[in-house]
Structure 1
Amino acid sequence: MRTVDPRWQPGNFEKNVEAVDRLAALAAAQGATVSQPALAWLLTRGEHIVPIPGTRSPKRIGPPAPIGVTLDTGPLQGWAR
């Protein structure tokens, strides 16, 4: 899959790392984990989108999104491109 997906082609990996860095800065500014604004953004994509968070290790299980807390996903708009 990665061999044909343009996101994994040469030069794009660096862009992906930059995107994660921007997401981490956004999350830190809101006092959130990186996954929280990512999941919040997914929830804005439509009623047909149901994020299913997962992990490879039980040690990494934590609060995916605080209940009753609204995260500002405005800065993430336009990331779907």
Structure 2
Amino acid sequence: MGELFTPTHLIVLAIVAIVLFGGKKLPELGKGLGEGLRGFKEGVKGVTDEAKDAKPGETAHTVTPKADETTKPTA
């Protein structure tokens, strides 16, 4: 079976992307994808920083359940 992304595969993928989205829309899609990846990296970094700062035995995010009126059994 060979490599997954050979130069031929990448060229065919680029041609399909241009046909589907058009040449004018591709830079906007690339910019949006880059911003999304950047935001994801910052979010992951924030979570790992919080986990490192947490005291031993604690979790970074503690959720306290609230009593909900709809979940109480009725008699």
TM-score by length of 1: 0.30
Q: Report which structure shows greater RCO (CA 8 Å, sep ≥6).
A: 1
- Tell me which protein shows more helix as a share of its residues: 2
